[in-house]
Structure 1
Amino acid sequence: MRKSFMVILGLLMVFLLSACGTDELEVEADGTIKLIAAHNQTSPDNPYQTGLLKFKEVVENESDGKIEVEVHAGTIGTEESQLVEKLQLGAADLVVVSPGLMTQTGIREVDILSAPYLFKSYDHWLRAIDGPVGEEMAEIINEKSNNSFKVLGYWTAGVRHFYGKKPLESIDDLKGVSLRTQTSGVISDFWQATGAIPSSISWGELYQGLQQDVVDSSENAYPFFVQQAHHTTPNGKYITETAHDFTTRLVLFNGEKFDNLPENYQEIILKAAEESVIAEREATNTQDVEYKEKAIEEGAVVNEIDREPFIEVAEPILDEFVKEIEAEELLQKIRDLE
């Protein structure tokens, strides 16, 4: 009798949730909703995993288990393009992606956030991202994606540096160097202007590429490339602290699905997103220090460099880019916050 009652109750919950517009969400027989959350990093120690596990913890606790979160660490896509596609198709509900990737969806303004030397410090990044600039960018993404993407928060991915087969003593040392980075957009334009040759080798194949001399160098933050042991390869041993990007990562939810959720569920998800931002940033900032030490202990060589020549190359490229996409005011707001 109890079993029959639970089945009927479950079916009733499904009906009620469907009536609220959640028919596109994955609803279990007992009426619980399952959310698929994913990032592209495969290391269990990665800050992305820390952030999504915090999101899962808060959502499930606050909903008393009525919302379940299934976290995927590189298991449904190691390329961000795969994750965005799954978000659009409904195969994922929340994904973590870089601003540069979003330009492929036609929202070019987002590429500003990945422009080299846009932010002069971590505090400058915080003032912009956690203030009106972050709010405006979220509105642009939602509007231009026709509500396909809703920004739940902004994570960091550390401070990006150059690493390769040789140290950089000056910007001239980049001439003719093949560099794993984005091959389109403002990032690519910057590296080409330095004389480097952008390469599109995938993240999952980069260790082998550095090991086998397929690519001369790459650029990323300590937690990410050290966890993948890139610094142990012949072409990843020399780290030059260019600090060219205080990185931004977008936590995106399917906008239509979010709007179809009951209001109390929306509030839970937003709270969980806020908690995930705190957890991910703390993990990244801590690991930025720890993994630099680890890299040095394991034989990597770290050197500093005069960044002014790099900044001189980057600024006119960014100025020209924002004119092209009519985002001069947004850029000025960011610069005013320095």
Structure 2
Amino acid sequence: MNKRTWGSVLAVSMLAIILAGCSSNTKETIDSTNAGASASEGPKYTFRLADTHPEGYPTVVGDRKFAELVNEKSGGRIKVEVFPASQLGEEKAVIEQVQLGAIELTRVSTGAMGGFNKEYEVFSLPYIFNSDEHLWKFLESDKGSALLDSLESSRMKGLAYYSSGARNFYSTKPLAGIADMKGLKVRVIQNKVNIDLMEALGANATPMAYGEVFGALQTGVIDAAENNYPSYDTSNHYQQAKNLILDQHQRVPEVLLISKITWDKLSDADKKIISEAAQESVATQRAEWDRFEKQSEEKIKAAGVTITEVTDFTPWREAVKPVIEKYRADYSDILDAIKKAE
């Protein structure tokens, strides 16, 4: 090899070394830039989230916090549009649309889920939770998380639980004790546990959609219904049914769902964004629930509603024992986990 050829080889070699170094530095810069921008890169989505409750209700506040967090975590790439006040339909119809992927997300009562996932009927069993603290200790347990995951077999994905307080009966007729339940036509969420519960209390169950209750109370189609303070307030049911008894027969949490069809289309990174946003929205929803519940209580008292405090729950618990025993075998593992969470 002559000197000229050797010089050329040396020059090429030096150039290769320099370029390799530059390439390495450039890659580090690009990787660093991508790390900061990755959330905003990828497919863009606009999802709809259906809720039956009105604007400003604690679950809708939770929905909107979830939407805000998804937008923030995705750098604006994933948008969630919230549709409150049953704009996209009542709970049962919306759940069916979520299963089909026609609506991507919804917030519904776990009481409405029994017809879609048998395990969720357990939440309709009376007096299985002693307090909100007991309920949340269970929801945050491994078994509570497993119940969210179990929805995948029903073509949905459970993302998070929301607060809904204790449910109480209210009526157009005097309601001062358990004896007054006898013969009442009571609206219930449509599931068989609720129907059995009414029978155990001597009442007649009338399943119907939430949006139909006000008119049914007004016209006498039903005598009574049951729900928590905020729902009793915002639905204006207190205007028609002015007798409330704080029997606290159920604590039925809410659940935030996404269609399994939608979920399966997402990348692992986007699934993480959705999951984290849902879980982080819970604190906002629970705080709003506590505030709103107190506000509703004061409003209802000011409206002249007759409110009866239950000081002895024994007659109520004794009356509904047959309901719990009827379903104990179906939900033994869940009931054991609930008992363990006391």
TM superposition score category, shorter chain reference: 0.7 to 0.9
CA contact (8 A) 1:100 1:185 kept: no
Match of 2:318 in 1: 312
SS in structure 2 of the partner of residue 157 of structure 1: coil
TM-score normalized with structure 2 length: 0.83
Correspondence list, 1:54-133, <5 A: 54-105=65-116, 107-133=117-143
- Relative to structure 1, the CA distance from residue 274 to residue 161 in structure 2 (aligned partners, 3 Å threshold; closer, same or farther) is same
| CA displacement at 1:314 relative to structure 2 | 2.4
| CA displacement at 1:77 relative to structure 2 | 3.5
| CA displacement at 1:231 relative to structure 2 | 0.8
SS in structure 1 of the partner of residue 176 of structure 2: coil
Q: Distance in 1 between matches of 2:333 and 2:115?
A: 23
SS in structure 2 of the partner of residue 104 of structure 1: coil
Match of 1:336 in 2: 340
Q: How many residues align?
A: 300
| CA displacement at 1:212 relative to structure 2 | 2.3
Give ranges in structure 1 of 5+ residues lacking alignment.
Answer: 1-29
Match of 2:223 among 216, 225, 232: 216
Correspondence list, 1:41-52, <5 A: 41=53, 43-52=54-63
CA displacement 1:122-162 (0-9 Å, x = unmatched): 110011011122122123322x32xx111101112221111
| CA displacement at 1:279 relative to structure 2 | 1.6
In angstroms, what is the RMSD of aligned CA positions? Answer: 1.7
Q: Distance in 2 between matches of 1:311 and 1:251?
A: 30
CA contact (8 A) 1:87 1:253 kept: yes
Q: Distance in 2 between matches of 1:169 and 1:298?
A: 18
| CA displacement at 1:59 relative to structure 2 | 0.6
CA contact (8 A) 1:55 1:275 kept: yes
| CA displacement at 1:31 relative to structure 2 | 4.7
Q: Distance in 2 between matches of 1:321 and 1:198?
A: 18
- Relative to structure 1, the CA distance from residue 151 to residue 216 in structure 2 (aligned partners, 3 Å threshold; closer, same or farther) is same
Q: Distance in 2 between matches of 1:67 and 1:214?
A: 44
Question: Counterpart amino acid of 1:152?
Answer: L
Q: Distance in 1 between matches of 2:243 and 2:111?
A: 26
Question: Counterpart amino acid of 1:333?
Answer: A
| CA displacement at 1:75 relative to structure 2 | 4.4
Give ranges in structure 2 of 5+ residues lacking alignment.
Answer: 1-41
- Relative to structure 1, the CA distance from residue 183 to residue 101 in structure 2 (aligned partners, 3 Å threshold; closer, same or farther) is closer
Match of 1:40 in 2: 52
CA displacement 1:44-70 (0-9 Å, x = unmatched): 121121011001111111111111111
CA contact (8 A) 1:40 1:74 kept: yes
Question: Counterpart amino acid of 1:229?
Answer: N
Q: Distance in 2 between matches of 1:258 and 1:201?
A: 30
| CA displacement at 1:196 relative to structure 2 | 0.6
**Correspondence 1:322 to 2:334:** no
Match of 1:198 in 2: 205
Match of 2:256 in 1: 251
CA contact (8 A) 1:232 1:299 kept: no
Q: Distance in 2 between matches of 1:32 and 1:139?
A: 26
CA displacement 1:229-262 (0-9 Å, x = unmatched): 11111xx101100111122112111124223212
CA contact (8 A) 1:161 1:243 kept: yes
